[in-house]
Chains A and B, each alone.
Chain A
Amino acid sequence: MITIENVAIAGVATSVPSAKIENIQLADIYGDKETEKLISSTGVNTRRIAGKSLTASEMCYHAACDLLDKLKWDTSSIGALIFVSQTPDHQLPATACILQNKLGLPTHTIAYDVNLGCSGYVYGLFLASSLVQTGIQRVLLLVGDTISQLVKPGDRSTELLFGDAGSATAIEHDACKKLSFELGSDGHGAEHIMARKLTQHQDTNIEQSSAFLTMNGGEVFSFTLKRIPKLVNDFMAQLSLDSDDIDACIYHQANRFMLRHLAKKSKFPPEKVPLSIMDYGNTSCASIPVTLCSQDLINRQKSLLVGFGVGLSWGVVYADLSQTQLLPIREIAGE
């Protein structure tokens, strides 16, 4: 366990595309019975889809503007910007640099991208907290994906599952707060969730359609069952806490079936495990902030945030979110 002292999560804002897809509409493709079965298992009723004109960085930008406004943070007070995404604007440069300029942050801002998905929010919090520990007063963590653009039409294991979202989280020095982490990775299972690099035929310049997301649901489920309950239960033990002590456990919104199983394995009652997957789908690295901002958490002083998936990669953070500003989700229209 790694504990970083003197750091707090000041606020979280999230934005999603205004375009909404009802999964039941896909019955035309998959048939009524199969569609109902998939909806029942994944739990996803509706998803927000960015389309071609709305990027992850654009959604994060709007969330950041809302958050800076709410917290009354002067842009000159921000020392670093981290952009966590698997769907950056370009292969290069880093989208974080583009966002630094767009947000009007000072040129002494440290800005970089991180390529992580399901565990990305927890990793982002760890990196941002580490920067605060070095003496930077305030860090902006922008986490978002437009995973729907990697989904192959007709792929039943992914098409009904993924939605798009962007988020902004404000992390700052606070002598009264701390964050504790446990993180890990196992590339041995990398192939189980993968979107291969786009390649080109040398003689035609025509892109091959090889970059679609592929997911081996059984292997991902097996990895999650083996890894995550033990991660969470051992982490609580290290903190001398048990599930009764925890106010809220916010899991990456992988799918509802899996989340219910994980909650049961760590002895969390349903009211302590908020779900956003029904309304927004699996929004990749943004699913934890989407859940924080869309669900009414009764008490959040002792919160666990748990990310796991693509990589394979995982992380859990224990945080006091009782004074964290959670903004309502904002809808963004594509151009």
Chain B
Amino acid sequence: MNKEKQLLEIIAEILEVDSVDVKHELDESTWDSLAIVTFISEIDSTFDLILEPAAVGEAKTVLDLIQLV
């Protein structure tokens, strides 16, 4: 599985939706503090990379998140 596909699956699971694409917009009601720490944890587990929480919180779209990794 390529990296982008892995990330899309991780993000969809966190957002509790079946699937997302790169244009999917993140809003405060779903991309909250719990989602942010879950994403940081998943990225650390999967890619051994610890993201900066501020950057994850400022992401507006799924593409922004993918570009962080």
A interface residues with partner B (beta carbon < 8 Å): 37-38, 41, 157, 216-219, 221-222, 225-226, 257-258, 261, 264-265
Contacts and interface: CB of A to CB of B under 8 A. Distances in A.
B18 to A, nearest CB: 18
Interface string B29-49: 000011011101100110000
Given A38-B34, A157-B33, A257-B37, A218 B53 contact: yes
A77 to B, nearest CB: 47
B54 interface: yes
Contacts of A265: 44
Interface of B: 33-34, 36-38, 40-41, 44-45, 50-54, 56-57
Contact of A257 (B36, B41, B52): B41
Contacts of B34: 37-38, 41, 217
Contacts of B45: 261, 264
A217 B44 contact: no
Contacts of A264: 45
Contact of A216 (B41, B51, B52, B53): B53
Given A37-B34, A38-B34, A261 B41 contact: yes
Contacts of B50: 222, 225-226
27 contacts: A38-B34, A41-B38, A157-B33, A217-B34, A217-B36, A218-B33, A218-B36, A218-B37, A218-B40, A218-B53, A218-B54, A218-B56, A219-B53, A219-B54, A221-B40, A221-B53, A222-B40, A222-B50, A225-B40, A225-B41, A226-B50, A257-B37, A257-B38, A261-B44, A261-B45, A264-B45, A265-B44
A225 B41 CA distance: 8
Contacts of B38: 41, 257
B25 to A, nearest CB: 20
A264 to B, nearest CB: 7
